[in-house]
Amino acid sequence: MIGVGLLGSGFIAETYADALRDVRDAELVASYSRGEQRAAAFAARWPSVRTWYTSVEELCADPAVDLVVIALPNEVHLDAVRHVAAAGKGVVCTKPLARTGAEAAEILRVVTEAGVWHGYAESSVFSPNVAKAHEMVAAGGIGDVVWMRAREGHSGPHAPHFWDAEAAGGGALLDMGCHTVESARWFFGKDNPVTEVFAWGATLVHGDKTKGEDSAIALLKFAGGQLATIESSWVEKGGMQLRHEIVGSAGRLVTDTASTPVWGFVGNPVSGLVEKADADTGWVYPVPEETRAYGFSQEMRHFVEAFSRGEPPVETFHDGWVVNCVIDACYRSMASGVWEPVNTTGR
């Protein structure tokens, strides 16, 4: 049984705690939040938590903790990884790995020099429909993949720290584009790098909340000549939009993670219908088992199994670093208005 320590007590920490219930060989044994009240309340909601902490160092030193999962704001990922690595524990970090490619490179250096196991929690590639599409692509079902379009949109983040673009490192592109960049790498092959990008971004609606972009589009050109279009939006009402279109030489595939077998019109309010829903009456499209539909359970199961075997997972901090480098180039392109190269030649 792998003892898991969880850093954080917000939305994504709750999601990871729920996901870990689906992992047979893991138990959430310790949690951290910087405030005592929130730390105690979080632990009370998850009975397997034996000890809660207000110190990252103390959680990492807990002998019952084998694997630490970081569910903290972007700006503290590096410090958290340093604490975990110093304790010699395995570590999983939520997306994005860092705010910039340089910061991600430092995170990767820390775990590499410490020799600790690491996994990058990019949920999109683990969501069941995307995983099935990838399985069909790998089997040659649509021939050679030549183009992909991926879109993630909703009306804005849960937590206020995401709106602080200076602290978080960016806006919608960093928050959500990290998903679709990795999806593109997943479908086109990680041995087929993104070489250059062209991007646009603007603050169209939420100028009162953020200095970062709430809308973005990027084109990713791969070494093999393929193209991916990724779209990120914080301005869409009505819940999540999570869609992939993959075109190959012998067919095409479409995935829609936000699609649901349950929908209807409700006249009385029903809360908690779906993540980031903007209404709880009228026409509603609730997604059953969101933790599993979005791939969080599957990624945690994979990480624990790989950690138990002492094998690298399919998503490591190296992948998170590459994603950050691609997004860095996108931000440069937003400023320059031209295609920008992706620099992943060294760390």
Q: What is the pLDDT of residue 299?
A: 98
Give yes or no for a contact between 35 and 55, defined as CB atoms under 8 angstroms apart.
no
* Tokens, residue 275: 């993540």
CB contact set of 345 (below 8 Å; sequence gap of 6+): none
Give the closest residue to 324 by CA, choosing from 168, 202, 189, 201. 168
Give the closest residue to 104 by CA, choosing from 329, 340, 319. 319
Q: What is the pLDDT of residue 287?
A: 86
Query: Please, what sign has the CA dihedral across residues 322, 103, 329, 129?
Result: positive
pLDDT tens-place values along the chain, 347 residues long: 999 999 999 999 999 999 999 999 999 999 999 999 999 999 999 999 999 999 999 999 999 999 999 999 999 999 999 999 999 999 999 999 999 999 999 999 999 999 999 999 999 999 999 999 999 999 999 999 999 999 999 999 888 889 999 999 999 999 999 999 999 999 999 999 999 999 999 999 999 999 999 999 999 999 999 999 999 999 998 888 899 999 999 999 999 987 888 889 999 988 877 777 777 888 888 888 999 999 999 999 999 999 999 999 999 999 999 999 999 999 999 999 999 999 987 55
CATH superfamily of 125-294+325-341: Dihydrodipicolinate Reductase; domain 2 (3.30.360.10)
Q: Where are the domains of the chain?
A: 2-123+297-315, 125-294+325-341
Backbone angles phi, psi at 11, to 5 degrees: -60, -50
CB neighbour burial string for 219-231, b if at least 16 within 10 angstroms, e if fewer: bbbbeeebebbbb
Give yes or no for a contact between 260 and 288, defined as CB atoms under 8 angstroms apart.
yes
Q: What is the pLDDT of residue 51?
A: 97
- Cα–Cα distances in Å, from 185 out to 100, 178, 214, 227? 18, 11, 23, 11
Q: What is the pLDDT of residue 347?
A: 54
Q: What is the pLDDT of residue 346?
A: 56
pTM of the predicted protein model: 0.95
CA distance 160 to 172: 13
Q: What is the pLDDT of residue 285?
A: 84
Q: Which long-range contacts (CB under 8 A, 24 or more apart) does 109-113 make?
A: 109/347, 110/78, 110/81, 110/82, 110/85, 111/81, 111/85, 111/317, 113/85
Give yes or no for a contact between 236 and 256, defined as CB atoms under 8 angstroms apart.
no
CA distance 230 to 181: 7
Q: What is the largest CA-CA distance in the chain?
A: 58
Q: What is the pLDDT of residue 272?
A: 76
Fold of 2-123+297-315: Rossmann fold (3.40.50)
Q: What is the pLDDT of residue 270?
A: 85
